[in-house]
Every structure is written in C-alpha cells, then in structure tokens.
Chains A and B, each alone.
Chain A
Amino acid sequence: MPSMLTIPPRLPKAQNPDPGASKFCPGCGHGMILKTLASAIDELNLQDRAIYGCDIGCSLLSWNYMNIDTIQAHHGRTTPVIYGITRATPDAVGIAYMGDGGGLAIGAQHLVNAAVRNEKMLVVLVNNTNYGMTGGQMAPTTLPGQVTETTPYGRDVEVTGKPAKGAEMVSAVVDTEAAYVTRGTVNNLRQLKTMMKRGLQNIADGRGFSYVEALSVCPLNWRTNNVDTWDRLDEMEGFFKVGELVVPQGLEGVK
C-alpha cells in the first residue's frame, strides 16, 4: 500500500507545483526539457524577468507548467509575440517554446526573420520528428524511412525531400558575433541544461538571439516501448548532430 510522504517532490522554483501531474503522455520528452529549462532559470535567478510563450501543439499543454508569466500564441506565432514583448519591455527575458511543426513548418518565416534581425529572445525548439498532438503525422523533421500516420510506407525522400535541419538553418543566417545556436538532446540533460543556461545568459546580457533545439522522444506516436524509444533517439542523433554551432564571445564561462 502506498503510504503518505510529508516531503514534497523536488521541483525547480520556476515550475508550478499546483497542477500536479503534467498533461503530457507517459514518457514525453517535454517534461524533461521543461524541467531542465525551469532549473536553468532558477540557477541564473531569472524568474522575475522571464516571460514564457508556448505554441500550439503538444507544447501548448505547458500553459500552466511554469511558475512565470506565460502567454499562449497562435500556431507558429510564438516567436513574433515574444519578440514584441521583449521590444516593448527590454528588460524581459523572452522564451518562445515550440515544437518542430510550429518552428520549422508554419513558423519558419518568423524564426528566420527573428534570427536575421538578431531579436533578443530565446527559442527552444523541441524536435520529436512528428506532429504529436494530432496523432503522429509527418513533420518537416521526420527521418527518411520513418513510418508515421501520413507516411505508412516510410518517408520517401524522392517525394518529400530530406528532413529540415533547424539549427543549421538558423546558424546560416544569424550574426555569429552575437547569437547562440545549439542542438541538445534529452539523452544528455546535463549538457542540455548548460546549453539552456548559455542561451538565457546570452539574452540576459542583451547580446542577441539564442536558439536551442532539443531532440526529444514521443513514445506514444512512435509506437515504441522504453527500449526502442532510446534506440530511436540514438538514430536521430546520428542524423541531427548534437553540439554547439555558433557561440559568441563571453559565453564560454557559463556552465
């Protein structure tokens, strides 16, 4: 029989303890990434300055996850909403949280233009290679040969092209002296936390655009058990190279 514990679960201060269990599916990577983001905000003591924006899709379910000011925008329009806020209140640390559908399909124009203009905001893009909320359809990042709802015989690169590489696309257009572009993975949450802290510090210093892509897992829509989920993530890491692509001067000390 489960007994009662008087010690509460250990949550970051920037995470909202009131809703209890999150609304994500069992084993969803969003929980790991949001927890890492919240503890990175804690360690840099940015809770009062941070403004969190979530997109449509599974990332929308994080609307009450954070214990910081939150806004929920239209599909793919989290980036312009957040840079509007950071332009109006220059002291704010704007965080746009989106999935690969919101950031690389419908919101790609905003992402590219925000990166070109060096807007002072952090984009956290969660890449799970499909559209999770609607049942696992093909996304721009779906791996070649991956079976999804809309590619039942596997993604055909002859017809639909190769997967979109968000971090490489952003690093090609940013100002390399001010922007921070990286790709992390939920396989290595310690490294992902360092990346999040560097991204947050970059905008807290008022330097420029930060982009953190996080490779994530989606066990329900991949139809994988716990063993196959981690194997699929390893396969993704072979295609999307993990590591920092653009690091401005002055961020090397942040760990």
Chain B
Amino acid sequence: MTKVQEKHQGFEIKGCGKGKATWRLYTQLCKGCGLCLIKCPINKKGKNCLHWSKEVGIYSTPAVEPDPALCIACGTCERLCPDSAIRIDRD
C-alpha cells in the first residue's frame, strides 16, 4: 500500500529564534484554548510574543501565532500544546 503525501491545513512563520527556526501551526488541530499564551516565557516578561492570530482553528476559535522578532524558539508551546498543533523546527 503506497501512501500519498499528506497535506495539512495550517500556516508557518519563518525567522523565529533569530532567523534559525520555523514555527508551524496546524489549524485542524488547534482548539484555541490559549494555555500556551500564559506559559510562553517571553509573554511572562510582559512582552507580546505569542498572541491570538487572525487564523481560526478547528472550532472556529482564534489560533495563536508568535512574533518572529521576539520568539526564541524555546519549544515551550510545542511541548505544552494538548493537541500537538504546534511544531518548531530548527533550520
């Protein structure tokens, strides 16, 4: 059985972590709980790195996106996300 290459709805933000990482979000998995916004270490310092996006998730609630200028690609949101909707890859 050959498997066709799957495509996944989502968006990617390049240039995170000082231009060295790509941040991806799968809109068919993000449920918009917002737990990652509180745990983001940059947001804890009072800056606005991870914020609500104009894109919507699977329940038509806002998804999230990082500010590539502030994101350090630490992976906290990826590890935390209950639905594995976030993926960070170092280029």
Contacts and interface: CB of A to CB of B under 8 A. Distances in A.
Interface residues on A, range: 20 to 34
A3 B11 contact: yes
Interface stretch (A26-34, A86-94, A118-126, A151-159): A26-34
A236 to B, nearest CB: 15
A22 B8 contact: no
A20 interface: yes
B29 A226 contact: no
B82 A31 contact: yes
Contact of B34 (A28, A35, A226): A226
Interface stretch (A5-13, A106-114, A207-215): A5-13
Contacts of A7: 8, 24, 87, 89
B24 A5 contact: yes
A5 B84 contact: no
Interface residues on B, range: 35 or more
B86 to A, nearest CB: 8
Contacts, number: 92
B12 to A, nearest CB: 6
B35 A5 contact: no
A189 interface: yes
B17 interface: no
Nearest to B79: A189
A189 B77 CA distance: 11
Contact of B83 (A5, A22, A226): A22
A131 B33 CA distance: 20
A230 B29 contact: no
Interface of A: 2-11, 15, 20-22, 24-32, 35, 189-190, 217, 219, 225-227, 229-230
Given A3-B12, A5-B9, A22-B82, 17 more contacts: A2-B55, A3-B11, A4-B9, A5-B8, A5-B10, A6-B6, A7-B8, A9-B8, A9-B29, A9-B85, A10-B87, A21-B28, A21-B31, A27-B34, A32-B82, A189-B80, A229-B35
